[in-house]
Amino acid sequence: MKFNVEVDCTPEEARRMMGLPDLTPVHEKYIASLTGALDGVVQPEMVEGMMRSWAPMSDAGLSFWRQMLETSGKSTG
């Protein structure tokens, strides 16, 4: 026997229904830090350290982000 259940809800409603935490403030702070780095306010090394502590990545992943931040800093500055 097979049952199909469709739930029509927003992502916010689904998050609450499953009991997941609201990470909106963390997301906003993360985006603000990245924006600050791109604007030259925050050093790329600070963002690298933050990303390393939040989600461990391979060295190739961190190299990609470092290169992206350095390139964007040169083009705006």
Give the dihedral of Cα atoms 49, 19, 13, 56; nearest 10 deg: 20
pLDDT-based confidence at 59, cuts 50/70/90? low
What's the pTM value of the predicted model, to 2 decimals?
0.40
Residue 1 domain-assigned (yes or no): no
C-alpha dihedral sign at 23, 24, 27, 32: negative
Q: Based on the structure, what is the number of domains in the chain? A: 1
User: Using 50, 70 and 90 to split pLDDT, how confident is the model at 55?
Assistant: low
Structural domain of residue 21, as residue ranges? 11-76
